[in-house]
A = this chain, B = another copy of it.
Amino acid sequence: MILKNISVDCVIFGFRNDKLNVLLWQAEPELLEKFLTTKEEYEQIKIIFEKNPALRSDNYWGLIGTHLPSEEDLDGYAKKVLQTATGLDEVYLKQFKTFGAINRVPHLRALTVAYYALINPDYHDLKLSPIAKAVKWFDINNLPDVIFDVKEIIENALKKLREEVQYHPAGFHLLPEKFTLTQLQTMYEVILDKKLDTRNFRKKIQNMGLLIDTNQKQTHVAHRAAKLYSFDVNIYRHLVEEGLNFRI
A residues sitting closer than 8 Å to B (CB atoms) are 3, 5-6, 68, 70-75, 95, 97-102, 109, 111, 113, 163, 166-167, 243, 245, 247
Contacts and interface: CB of A to CB of B under 8 A. Distances in A.
The 10 A-B pairs at the shortest CB distance, nearest first, are namely: A74-B100, A98-B98, A70-B109, A73-B102, A98-B113, A3-B5, A73-B101, A5-B5, A245-B247, A6-B111
Contact of A74 (B72, B95, B111, B245): B111
A164 to B, nearest CB: 10
Given A111-B74, A163-B243, A167-B167, A98 B95 contact: yes
Contacts of A101: 73-75
Nearest to A113: B98
In the complex this chain forms, how many copies of it are found?
Answer: 2
Given A68-B100, A72-B102, A166 B243 contact: yes
Contacts of A247: 245
A75 B111 CA distance: 11
7 contacts: A5-B5, A68-B100, A75-B100, A75-B101, A111-B111, A163-B243, A245-B245
Given A74-B111, A245-B245, 9 more contacts: A5-B6, A6-B6, A71-B102, A73-B101, A74-B99, A95-B98, A98-B98, A163-B243, A166-B243
